[in-house]
Chain A
């Protein structure tokens, strides 16, 4: 485990140094953003809010919904979507960016003829949810009912005036790039004045010739696999910079790494698996025994099951991967030393009061370095 942490620190350092080498360019005002992935409740208590204010964290990136393909429905559908707007409290005065996550399967299976309809539905869904969240971020004297009234006339979506960007996350591949890019272009037409920002993963960065460049004005580099090897990282940043201005998303929350036969299959959000984790208390031996603990770092799957839309098979291994703030700090120190004004940084934070507290000084440091 110790070696694992060191390895991670080293790799992260290396990655970020290389990143800076290639991407030290001035863009928008840099900022730290709080991220709500789909498995995090948008409930912000007064205590949470006070802490946010204390560390002056004002920007939210909120996953509105997540699209997946359903063979049973025979279409794409939002298998997660935010609903309980009555819980959208204590958000007043914060800036909000909507985020939509889409699985690659959606573009694998949706026939080309249905892409326009998919874009239309997606835009409607974005309208409905964004409006609710946006109105919750308005000052308290803002009359919510006026928004409710306006909802009746779809041509006047007031929320759009307050939003600059919509982030679309999709792990597309060479077979789905055409459909995905077409979808993004169509979606952009529904939102004039708001720019669509697509996430790209390391493979999209490296294999840009094969996988294409999304037809947008800026993108966000999503670095989610901590198991990349040194040569891979070197290769990644050797060539020309990416043709789009890039933001960066770093995992500052707790992941579970998913392995099958020692092969890394991807990250799973910790929250999704925690209900089976003995440490979290609601593990009842003999009842939820899909998982067995291996040691303090993780567990093994005992029975085929589904977690967060992923099929986990018997004998798969899940290893906890806690964020190492020391490593992150050393990266930002380097950044500062090089006196580079970085891109806007988007940082993923596990929405947990205790952790937010633990990260407070860290976030402060980053902010100082960014400006």
Chain B
């Protein structure tokens, strides 16, 4: 293939890969930003150093270039200033000026002679404004200008002259001044700072030789100051510019090892193609291990080889290894568990509608099975490596490793004894992070040890969940460990067919995005039961809600949501420079969450029975509901807006509920008409016609569709993601809803029951409409675009047989386009 075609093909495929899911995904989605939706029940912060958080296998961190979340480097730099200026200068004051104030503001304030006034409370400003510190002040003003040039300045602020480069002018000025100062200053602190400016700004002015020269002269032997690693990254960059990639990568690995704020940057620009050449520069095994760490970071695939090499090279590499091992455990549990628990809610390779995804609970897809087999093999191999390592190293982080091994056994499944054995080996139970992990493992191991539906298992569940809740501040909040565990247990009870418990646990885990339409506040507590509950389940749920003396497990299921269950996290911007860590946002759940109200449940029971065409049960359920319920709740009044017995009016506008459009009354009349329709006689045809109208009006196409479902979307026909996945439905009820099978059956019977000519006209007209809409539904679902629009034979019948009736005239009067439509039929 010609390379150009190759590139073109690649572009097309990439574009499709990006755009296609957008077309597939439809419907409403309510979610929280930046939360981790993958399963991560192994705490990545269990043993890792605090400045390694950005490398966790976690969407929140990987979405942004977090640098030095704990500001360790910045604080060290400020400490160096305090050491120089005197201890009466406060750390926070230095931080405010150096890292939290826009530099042009400081420069402008100084130019206006107001720096001292505006920052009168700031001990750092007070210190540098003393007359004897004029050298310090002029250094600061110079670097403020350099920072302004780097981060805020435009090349030409006037935007009229393309040749002007303010940035370069300012940086050159810094270099010129610094070159003079390093030859004249006696003050070693300031001298080093100016030298640092020479390294940095020469790099940005593309003077790589000077950059390297000043680095070697002033920083090659520097051990203490934070300026050493900070200048080294520029040195590495200039080496790279001169083509010495391997040496550059080596220096990047040294910066990575010594600095917190540059870690992410180093890992991003580290060149992985020159591993061996880079390793040649390493002076000892520790340096080699760090190079290996960089080699495997940012790699979301298996990294066992790298970790194994690091274990051989530097088993004492206590800082990086736990992070990398935890990261690997998180990867494995994501690959194996996420599809089963959250159903690929984010990062979905293709859109899965729920029917397909639900089947993951019982049957595997081929691709899923293949991946799972591969992932399990990798899991075992990685676990074996850890087991061998722990045997040979008594001083390694034993507790951490035992927990990692226990967790891998759990993820593998059916290894209850091995999980228990490793948990028993954990020694330090006083550490809350370790305690939390132990309880998580215990909870996850519970289904392997006993029948979840037994009382003993339920009691253990309650105990473990409450202990985990109490300790949950020891794991990054964005992972939302607690509600995800609840969701997992909901899935387990669902597998056992216990819809009531599964549904309540599901409702308690509602903050976890789970690829399911959750809808409005009204529908939120109801959704799960709408999709999965049978009529008996609804009865059981109502009995549980009404039960007076609930046991602990029942209390646990039904009590209002706790903070962990109702709080989602959102990243906000911390002006001017950093993103702040995730902050809780209030999520607006109904106050009775996780429980639907009893009236909601009566209504749901009626709806489910109505879908099954079980009219008596429907009516009995509605009899419990107050008369004005549908006028005052949810959106009922807008979508039950027309007398359902009347002829279909597709153009009915939204409005207040009409008199008589009350579900109870509709059902009472339906039952009465049903009786008339069953017996032969002159009343039969009109009764069947009215019944047909109700079925039409309560279908997808009718104005009263909310008799049957709680939601509707224009894309339902093509992607019936909500209705089709209502498991309590069967094909018959879906056909009744989309293809009006019940309405059509009634109309056909009515036509056979010898109606008078006027009624026969109306029935034929409705049959024709239903027929054409059904065709439309089928085409939409099968993505068929007809070149010649379908023309129903019933329209032909209407024209041939009934065009002289009074009813026909009335129909034409209300629908003027019909005449044109009938003529089109003639042309075919």
Contacts and interface: CB of A to CB of B under 8 A. Distances in A.
B107 A72 contact: yes
B153 A73 contact: yes
Q: Label chain A's interface by main secondary structure.
A: mixed
Contacts of A306: 105
Contact of B109 (A109, A124, A125, A311): A311
A71 B118 contact: no
B575 to A, nearest CB: 10
Contacts of A109: 111
B160 A71 contact: no
Most chain B CB within 10 A, of A73, A81, A287, A311, is at A73
B675 to A, nearest CB: 58
B114 A128 contact: no
A78 B157 contact: yes
Contacts of B112: 105
Interface string A106-129: 000100000000000100110010
Given A287-B572, A311-B114, A124 B108 contact: no
B148 interface: yes
Contact of A70 (B108, B118, B159): B108
A74 B114 CA distance: 17
Interface in A241-299: 287
Contacts of A73: 153, 157, 166
B111 A78 contact: no
Contacts, number: 47
B158 A72 contact: no
Contacts of B572: 287
Interface string B105-123: 1011111101000100000
Contacts of A77: 157-158
A178 to B, nearest CB: 20
- A: contact size bracket: 20 to 34
Contact of A72 (B103, B114, B160): B103
A125 B160 contact: yes
Contacts of B104: 70-72
A70 B170 CA distance: 13
Nearest to B111: A71
Q: Label chain B's interface by main secondary structure.
A: helix
B145 interface: yes
A72 B145 contact: yes
A121 B158 contact: yes
B517 interface: no
A77 B170 CA distance: 15
B465 interface: no
Nearest to B157: A77
A223 B114 CA distance: 28
Interface string B143-178: 011001000110001111000001000100000000
A73 B152 CA distance: 10
Interface string B169-194: 01000000000000000000000000
Contacts of A71: 104, 107-108, 110-111
B150 to A, nearest CB: 12
A69 B108 CA distance: 8
Interface in A90-105: 105
B428 to A, nearest CB: 38
B160 A128 contact: yes
A72 B108 contact: yes
A53 interface: no
Contacts of B114: 311
A207 interface: no
B159 A72 contact: no
A332 B145 CA distance: 52
A320 to B, nearest CB: 25
A72 B118 contact: no
Nearest to A306: B105
B118 A121 contact: no
Contacts of B107: 70-72
Contacts of A74: 170
Interface in B187-224: none
A304 B104 CA distance: 15
B148 A125 contact: no
A313 interface: yes
B571 to A, nearest CB: 13
A73 to B, nearest CB: 6
Contacts of B158: 77-78, 121, 124-125
Interface string B74-110: 0000000000000000000000000000011101111
Given A70-B104, A70-B108, A313 B118 contact: yes
Contacts of B159: 78, 81
A105 B572 CA distance: 36
A124 B144 contact: no
Contact of B160 (A70, A121, A304, A311): A121
A77 B111 CA distance: 15
A73 B156 CA distance: 10
A341 B159 CA distance: 44
Nearest to B156: A77
Contacts of A78: 157-159
A73 B114 CA distance: 18
B153 A304 contact: no
A311 B118 contact: yes
A79 to B, nearest CB: 8
Nearest to B166: A73
Given A77-B157, A313-B118, A72 B109 contact: no
Contacts of B160: 121, 124-125, 128
Contacts of A72: 103-104, 107-108, 144-145, 148, 152-153
A133 to B, nearest CB: 16
Interface string A52-82: 0000000000000000011111110110010
Contacts of B144: 72
Contacts of A70: 104, 107-108, 157
Nearest to A123: B160
A164 to B, nearest CB: 24
B123 to A, nearest CB: 16
A146 to B, nearest CB: 22
A81 B103 CA distance: 22
Nearest to B169: A74
Nearest to B147: A72
Interface string B626-648: 00000000000000000000000
Contacts of A128: 160
Contacts of B148: 72
B213 to A, nearest CB: 28
Contacts of B157: 70, 73, 75, 77-78
A104 to B, nearest CB: 11
Contacts of B170: 74
Nearest to A83: B159
Interface in A330-344: none
A89 B166 CA distance: 34
Nearest to B105: A306
Contacts of B111: 69, 71, 109
A328 B107 CA distance: 43
Interface in B758-817: none
Nearest to A287: B572
A115 B412 CA distance: 77
A105 B111 CA distance: 10
Given A72-B144, A78-B159, 5 more contacts: A72-B145, A77-B158, A78-B158, A311-B114, A311-B118
Interface of B: 103-105, 107-112, 114, 118, 144-145, 148, 152-153, 157-160, 166, 170, 572
The 8 tightest CB contacts between A and B, nearest first, are: A71-B111, A77-B157, A72-B104, A72-B148, A71-B107, A72-B107, A124-B160, A71-B108
20 contacts: A69-B108, A69-B111, A70-B104, A71-B108, A71-B111, A72-B103, A72-B104, A72-B108, A72-B148, A72-B153, A75-B157, A77-B157, A78-B157, A78-B158, A109-B111, A124-B158, A125-B160, A304-B118, A311-B114, A313-B118
Interface of A: 69-75, 77-78, 81, 105, 109, 121, 124-125, 128, 287, 304, 306, 311, 313
